[in-house]
Structure 1
Amino acid sequence: MTDTQEVKTVLNDAADYNVMHGLNSQWTLWFDNPSRRTSTSNWTANLKEIVTISTVEEFWGVYNNVVIAFEIPNGANFHLFRKGIRPMWEDPANENGGKWGYQFQRSIGEKVNEHWLHTLLACIGETFESSPDVCGAVFSNRKSCFRVAIWTRNAADKESCENIGRHLKSVLGVSQALEYFPHSESTKNAMYVV
């Protein structure tokens, strides 16, 4: 853009804008459909990197052109992670972390798309007080529920983890307790609850 060109954003010219709104971090959308997987190596083969976004406009372009969360196949997952972090426990950014999660009953129906969208916007907008500790978000479609989760970098940082959990609870608009589970633990007991 030159100094003499008129500034046109997507807000005032959706077809011919010349200014983009950059994100603080780049984010990568991943998808997996584990319907036929039987092992970890099979799961890794099913994990597909879809696109990396770096602007608000790219986010909305992707969001408006992929299958909505409610409609992904049963057993499938969407993952939105910071660029360079794979959505797997073994990734160095995740290995010492954990996740906050919430399960929505299937009866919520398509309303779950709003919860997923709000979670995505909180990630890319870096609205979490401890945003650098957020690695990514996961949406899972299961037979009995829909699950939304935020993965964090450092399970040992209680203050950061609890800040993230409280904000996720607010983003999701739920009053029930959220539980945090570290990736390294094979226990069914939550490490933190907000």
Structure 2
Amino acid sequence: MSVPQLQLNDTTPITPDDHHNNCLDKTSTRKSLHQNIFGKLRPLPFQYHWTVWYDKYTPESDDPSTKNKLYILHEDVADIATFYRVYNNYPWDKVRVRDSVHIFRKGVEPVPGDPENRNGGCWQFRVPKGKALAFFHEAVILCMANEFQAALEEEHDHVLGISSSVRFNSHLISVWNKLGGNERSIKTLEQTILERLSPDLRPSGSHADGYSYRRHGEE
């Protein structure tokens, strides 16, 4: 089965306002959050450059190291206009069950074995399908705008990327950090994610059912 391809036929920069005009959910809280973030992003390129990956699940493989195959969809997302050209043109509805899309710092592969990830982990959220794309979108924007990173500066930790993995009735959305052994950093990242997300996207129900922290070495 082929990987859903990214088609960037229109090179005209796509602005955040273009995206919002096409959104079905236009709650005032979410628009306020986005406008605040976009105001920070418009003048300058991102502090870090980002790569968009497609992660294809291949259950027929007998070799555990090749269970997933990684493909680069866009190698260098350097600013908000480039991000929206990717985000608005990608066929999100074509991502198959157990396949994943990752947006990671350029130079870091979205696998636990990458040197930057080896001692890290991730906050993993199980998000209902109806909210998954909005959750992923907000998490990525907050990540690229350094909202998560700024919260971890005192701990010398780094947020390395965001993943969305499709399941039957939900998506597993993960926020990866570098220091999986730093409990203060892990807790701070959790609090920052929950505080920065729009209220309607925050996990409901018990902590154990909605989300948890997973160290890569424990998987």
Normalising by the smaller structure, the TM-score range is 0.7 to 0.9
| CA displacement, residues 111-154 of structure 1 (integer Å, 9 cap, x when unaligned) | 32111100110111111112751111110001242111111101
Give yes or no for the alignment of 1:67 onto 2:91.
yes
SS in structure 1 of the partner of residue 179 of structure 2 = coil
- Does 1:127 find its partner at 2:150? no
What's the counterpart of residue 141 of structure 1? 166
2:179 is the alignment partner of 1:157: no
Gaps of 5+ in 2: 1-12, 19-41
User: Moved runs in structure 1, 4+ residues, more than 4 A?
Assistant: none
Q: Which has the larger radius of gyration?
A: 1
1:164-175 mapped onto 2 (5 Å cutoff): 164-170=189-195, 171=197, 172-175=201-204
Deviations 1:52-106 (A, max 9, x none): 20111111111111122x541111100111111100110000000011011123x
Contact 2:46 2:79 in 1 (8 A): yes
Q: Is the 8 A contact 2:160 2:176 kept in 1?
A: yes
Q: What is aligned with 1:42? A: 66
Higher-helix-fraction structure:
2
Asked if 1:55 is matched to 2:74, the reply is no
Q: Which residue of 2 aligns with 1:76?
A: 99
What's the counterpart of residue 179 of structure 1? Answer: 212
SS at match of 1:184: helix
Q: How far apart, in 2, do the equivalents of 1:185 and 1:75 lie?
A: 20
Question: For residue 95 of structure 1, what is the aligned residue in structure 2?
Answer: 118
TM norm structure 1: 0.77
Q: Which residue of 1 aligns with 2:48?
A: 25
Report the secondary structure of 1:25's partner residue: coil
Residue 73 to residue 152, structure 1, CA distance change in 2 (3 Å): same
Corresponding residue SS for 1:85: coil
- 1:42 Cα offset (Å): 2.5
CA change 1:164–1:60 in 2 (3 A) is same
CA deviation map 1:1-47 (0-9, x unaligned): xxxxxxxx976xx9xxxx97400100111002214452334235x21
Aligned to 1:192: none
* Contact 1:21–1:57 (CA under 8 A) maintained in structure 2: no
- Where do 5+ consecutive residues of structure 1 fail to align? 1-8, 187-194
Q: Which has the higher strand share?
A: 1
Say if 1:10 and 1:48 are closer, same or farther in 2 by CA, change over 3 A: closer
> What percentage of aligned pairs have identical amino acids?
23
- State the superposition RMSD in angstroms: 2.4
CA distance in 1, matches of 2:193, 2:103: 15
